[in-house]
């Protein structure tokens, strides 16, 4: 039997966190190439440290001359990302940091397994397992701790960029511990917020006075109580931040990107990977399916696992767990899923419209629990499959 009364914690990091700077650059490279050619192949990794950004990996366009032309623009892409995030520090400035580009053409051996042909459907870009999850804790059908940890940092970034809070810096982290009663979140017991600031004279108390109104604006009003413990900039001064304070790397915040530890993770990162890579596209499909299972009223909570092998189009397995909340048998949902969605890499891309430049916006504040956008961004957050699932069952 599932526990009903417990504490659970999730964390988030801001767009200026060193790892998120790298995710953003990698996804910006992906967007630039996929805007030129929807079938572009990209596996881009970024490393950032004091005054330096290093970009590497594999990319591919059908026209090699165009590919060479895009190589020349990679530095400008990286600088534009750093500028938008807001870094103009002495030792990490969008205009002056060194950008090194080591991207090269995609391996022919990988391409032969992934590319389709007359007698072969397009295969998965790698082996692996991917998970999707949904629950009724929030209107977005996301676990509450990770959802609100994201929302706090997103709101503070808006205040910083609007000029309302000019002393706040781009680098920040949040963490929320929620108390659950009868399976539902009812109270914040611990709240941690560390944010970079530009004024060396500001104390932890000064920073709390700045951020607390925004935090209260985001959280349900009755969740913050007299018993809530606040830890704002608990180490004191936080002036040196971003890649100058700590090195960053693409794909190092996979739990922040997904469900905050409330659900399993297959291990593969998302950013910098084109949608032939099932690490990304199948994780999006699994979230889409889990969300629609919950939206259809088939369960209060749902975990879905998909598995793939490199070069093989169809998933090797589909696993559904409704965690004791299901209204129908899980095996019946497993049987219904292939009836309502083609889970080959090509089928996922077509169903969700993933061959579009929609990825840079996913690099901060989570890939899930977002609002579907008119241009196809966050299409995996639609709940338009619920009726088809009900009919298939």
Is 161 assigned to a binding site?
A: no
Question: How far is the C-alpha of 298 from the C-alpha of 275, rounded, in Å?
Answer: 29
Is 246 assigned to a binding site?
A: yes
Domain count, the chain: 3
Is 356 assigned to a binding site?
A: no
User: 141 lies in a domain?
Assistant: no
* Residue 109 pLDDT: 44
Domain assignment of residue 159, given as a range: 6-12+148-242
Domain final position from 223, 242, 261: 242
For the chain, how far is it from start to end, CA to CA, in angstroms?
A: 26
Is 335 assigned to a binding site?
A: no
Residues tagged active-site = 17, 19-20, 45, 58, 173, 238, 246-247, 252-253, 273, 277, 279
Give pLDDT tens digits for 308-335.
999 899 999 999 999 999 999 999 999 9
Residues 276 and 232 in one domain: no
Rounded to the nearest 10 degrees, the angle between the axes of helix 345-352 and helix 278-295 is: 60
Instruction: Print burial letters for 9-42: b (CB count within 10 Å at least 16), e (below 16).
Output: bbbbbbbbbbbbbbbbbbbbbbbbbbeebebbbb
Residues 132 and 164 in one domain: no
Is 370 assigned to a binding site?
A: no
Residues 196 and 326 in one domain: no
- Compute the average pLDDT of residues 195-211: 95
Question: How far is the C-alpha of 238 from the C-alpha of 14, rounded, in Å?
Answer: 14
Residues 219 and 262 in one domain: no
Q: Answer whether residue 116 shows pLDDT above 90.
A: no
Q: Answer whether residue 113 shows pLDDT above 90.
A: no
Residues 60 and 85 in one domain: yes
In 3D space, the residue among 164, 144, 140 whose CA is nearest the CA of residue 152 turns out to be: 144
User: 87 lies in a domain?
Assistant: yes
User: 71 lies in a domain?
Assistant: yes
What letter does residue 188 receive in the DSSP assignment?
A: E
Residues 222 and 265 in one domain: no
User: 270 lies in a domain?
Assistant: yes
User: 1 lies in a domain?
Assistant: no
Proportion of the chain above pLDDT 90, given as a percent: 88
Question: What does the mean pLDDT of the chain come to?
Answer: 94
Tokens read off for 261:
């530890």
Residues 278 and 377 in one domain: yes
Is 154 assigned to a binding site?
A: no
Domain final position from 242, 277, 305: 242
DSSP 323-378: TT--SS-HHHHHHHHHHH---SHHHHHHHHT-SSS--GGGSSS-SSSPPP-TTSTT
Residues 379 and 284 in one domain: yes
Question: Rg of the chain over CA atoms, in angstroms?
Answer: 21
Give pLDDT tens digits for 24-69.
999 999 999 999 999 999 999 999 999 999 999 999 888 777 777 7
Collapsing DSSP states into helix, strand and coil, what is residue 51?
Answer: coil
Q: Answer whether residue 78 shows pLDDT above 80.
A: yes
Q: Answer whether residue 108 shows pLDDT above 70.
A: no
Residues 132 and 267 in one domain: yes
Residues 132 and 161 in one domain: no
User: 193 lies in a domain?
Assistant: yes
Residue located via tokens 């975990």: 303
Q: Answer whether residue 128 shows pLDDT above 90.
A: yes
**CATH code, 25:** 3.30.300.10
Residues 345 and 258 in one domain: yes
Q: Answer whether residue 357 shows pLDDT above 80.
A: yes
User: 120 lies in a domain?
Assistant: no
pTM to 2 decimals? 0.95
- Supply angle C-alpha 193, 194, 196, rounded to 5: 140
User: 33 lies in a domain?
Assistant: yes
* Residue 152 pLDDT: 98
Domain final position from 214, 242, 270: 242
Residues 218 and 345 in one domain: no
């Amino acid at each position: 039997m599932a526990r009903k009364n417990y504490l659970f914690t999730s964390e988030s990091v801001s767009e200026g966190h060193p790892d998120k700077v790298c995710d953003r650059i990698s996804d910006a490279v992906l967007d630039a190439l996929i805007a030129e050619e929807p079938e572009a192949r990209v596996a881009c990794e970024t490393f950032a440290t004091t005054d330096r950004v290093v970009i590497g990996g594999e990319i591919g366009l059908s026209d090699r001359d165009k590919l060479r032309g895009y190589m020349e623009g990679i530095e400008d892409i990286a600088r534009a990302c750093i500028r938008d995030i807001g870094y103009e520090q002495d030792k990490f400035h969008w205009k002056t940091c060194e950008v090194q580009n080591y991207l090269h053409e995609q391996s022919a051996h990988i391409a032969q397994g992934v590319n389709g042909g007359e007698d072969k459907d397009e295969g998965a870009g790698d082996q692996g397992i991917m998970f999707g999850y949904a629950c009724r804790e929030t209107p977005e059908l996301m676990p509450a701790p990770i959802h609100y940890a994201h929302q706090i940092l997103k709101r503070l970034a808006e205040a910083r960029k609007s000029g309302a809070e000019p002393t706040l810096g781009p680098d920040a982290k949040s963490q929320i511990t929620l108390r659950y009663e009868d399976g539902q979140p009812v109270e914040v017991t611990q709240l941690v917020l560390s944010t970079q600031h530009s004024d060396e004279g500001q104390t932890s108390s000064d920073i709390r006075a700045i951020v607390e109104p925004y935090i209260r604006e985001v959280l349900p009003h009755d969740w913050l109580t007299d018993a809530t413990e606040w830890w704002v900039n608990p180490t004191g001064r936080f002036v040196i931040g971003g890649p100058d304070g700590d090195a960053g790397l693409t794909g190092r915040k996979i739990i922040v990107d997904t469900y905050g530890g409330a659900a399993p993770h297959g291990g593969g990162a998302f950013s910098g990977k084109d949608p032939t890579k099932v690490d990304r596209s199948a994780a999006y499909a699994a979230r889409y399916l889990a969300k629609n299972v919950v939206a259809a009223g088939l369960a209060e909570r749902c975990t879905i696992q998909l598995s793939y092998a490199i070069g093989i189009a169809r998933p090797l397995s589909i696993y559904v767990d409704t965690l004791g909340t299901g209204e129908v048998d899980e095996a019946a949902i497993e049987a219904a899923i292939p009836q309502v969605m083609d889970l080959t890499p090509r089928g996922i891309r077509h169903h969700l419209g993933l061959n579009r430049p929609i990825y840079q916006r996913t690099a901060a504040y989570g890939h899930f629990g977002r609002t579907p956008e008119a241009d196809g961004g966050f299409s995996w957050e639609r709940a338009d499959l619920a009726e088809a699932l009900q009919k298939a069952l």
